[in-house]
Chain A
Amino acid sequence: MSQTLVFVRTKSEPLDPPPTLSSSVLVWARANLFSSIGSTVTTLAFVALVLWLLPELFSWTITQAVWNAKDGEACRQHQDGACWAFISAKLDYLRFGSYPVDQRWRVNLTEWVGAVLIAWLLWPEAPKRGMAALLFFAIFPIFAFVLLHGSGWLGLPIVDTLLWGGMLITLLTAAVGIVFSLPLGVLLALGRRSRMPVVRSASILFIEFVRGVPFITILFMANAMLPLFLPEAWAPDRLLRPLVGMALFSAAYMAEEVRGGLQSLRRGQYEAAMALGLSYPLMMGLVILPQALTLVIPGIVNNFVGLFMDTTLVSIVGLADFLEAMNNAMKDPAWSGPTIMPTGYVFAGVFYFMFCFGMTRYSAFVEGKLAKGRKR
Chain B
Amino acid sequence: MRTPATGGHDATLAIDFIGVHKWYGTFHALRNINLTVKRGERIVICGPSGSGKSTLIRCVNGLEEHQRGSIIVDGVELTRDVKRIDEVRKDVGMVFQSFNLFPHLTVLENCTLAPIWVRKTPKRQAEDIAMKLLRRVKIPEQASKYPAQLSGGQQQRVAIARALCMNPRIMLFDEPTSALDPEMVKEVLDTMSELAQEGMTMMVVTHEMGFARQVADRVVFMDNGEIVEINAPDPFFDNPRHQRTKLFLSQILH
The chain A residues found within 8 Å of chain B, CB to CB, are 266, 268-269, 271-279, 282, 286-287, 290-291, 294, 373-376
Contact = CB atoms under 8 A, between A and B. Distances in A.
Interface of B: 61-63, 86, 89-90, 92-94, 96, 98, 100-104, 113-114, 117-118, 146, 148-149, 159, 162-163, 166
B118 A282 contact: yes
A276 B162 contact: yes
Contacts of B146: 373-375
Nearest to A282: B117
A287 B104 CA distance: 8
Which of A271, A277, A286, A287 has the most chain B CB atoms closer than 10 A to its own CB?
A: A277
A269 B94 contact: no
Nearest to B88: A277
Given A279-B86, A282-B118, A272 B101 contact: yes
B61 A275 contact: yes
Contacts of B113: 276, 278, 286-287
Contact of B114 (A271, A277, A290, A374): A277
Given A282-B118, A375-B149, A287 B63 contact: no
A291 B104 CA distance: 7
Given A274-B89, A374-B148, 16 more contacts: A268-B96, A272-B96, A272-B102, A274-B63, A275-B63, A275-B92, A275-B94, A275-B96, A276-B89, A276-B114, A277-B86, A279-B118, A282-B118, A286-B113, A290-B104, A294-B104
A291 B103 CA distance: 8
Nearest to A271: B63
Nearest to B98: A268
Contacts of B63: 271, 274-275
A272 B94 CA distance: 8
Contacts of A274: 61-63, 89
A295 to B, nearest CB: 10
B54 to A, nearest CB: 11
A282 B166 CA distance: 16
Contacts of B159: 272
Contact of A276 (B62, B103, B149, B163): B163
Nearest to A285: B117
A278 B114 contact: yes
Contacts of A273: 102
Contacts of A266: 98, 100
A106 B114 CA distance: 46
Which of B93, B102, B149 has the most chain A CB atoms closer than 10 A to its own CB?
A: B102
Contacts of B166: 276-277
Contact of B103 (A271, A279, A286, A376): A376
B117 A286 contact: yes
A272 B61 CA distance: 11
B104 A375 contact: no
A269 B118 contact: no
Nearest to A275: B94
Given A276-B113, A276-B118, A276-B163, A271 B149 contact: no
A157 B100 CA distance: 58
A374 B100 contact: no
Nearest to A290: B104
Give 4 closest A-B pairs by Cβ, nearest first. A272-B100, A268-B100, A276-B114, A277-B89
A278 B94 CA distance: 13
Contact of A374 (B86, B89, B104, B163): B104
A22 B221 CA distance: 64
A256 to B, nearest CB: 22
Contacts of B149: 375
A350 B92 CA distance: 59
Contacts of B102: 269, 272-273, 287, 291
B25 to A, nearest CB: 17
Nearest to A279: B86
16 contacts: A268-B100, A269-B100, A269-B102, A271-B100, A272-B102, A274-B61, A274-B62, A274-B63, A275-B96, A276-B113, A277-B118, A278-B114, A279-B86, A286-B113, A290-B104, A376-B103
A278 B100 CA distance: 15
B79 to A, nearest CB: 16
Given A282-B118, A294-B104, A277 B96 contact: no
Nearest to B159: A272
Contacts of B61: 274-275
Contacts of A376: 103, 148
B101 A278 contact: no
Contacts of A269: 100, 102
Nearest to B109: A286
A375 B96 contact: no
A271 B96 contact: yes
A275 B89 contact: yes
Nearest to B103: A374
A278 B115 CA distance: 10
Contacts of A287: 102, 113
A274 B61 CA distance: 9
B236 to A, nearest CB: 28
A376 B104 CA distance: 11
A111 B176 CA distance: 55
B169 to A, nearest CB: 13
A278 B162 CA distance: 13
A373 B149 CA distance: 10
A375 B103 contact: no
Given A373-B146, A375-B146, A375-B149, A277 B100 contact: no
Contacts of A275: 61, 63, 89, 92-94, 96, 163
Contacts of B93: 275
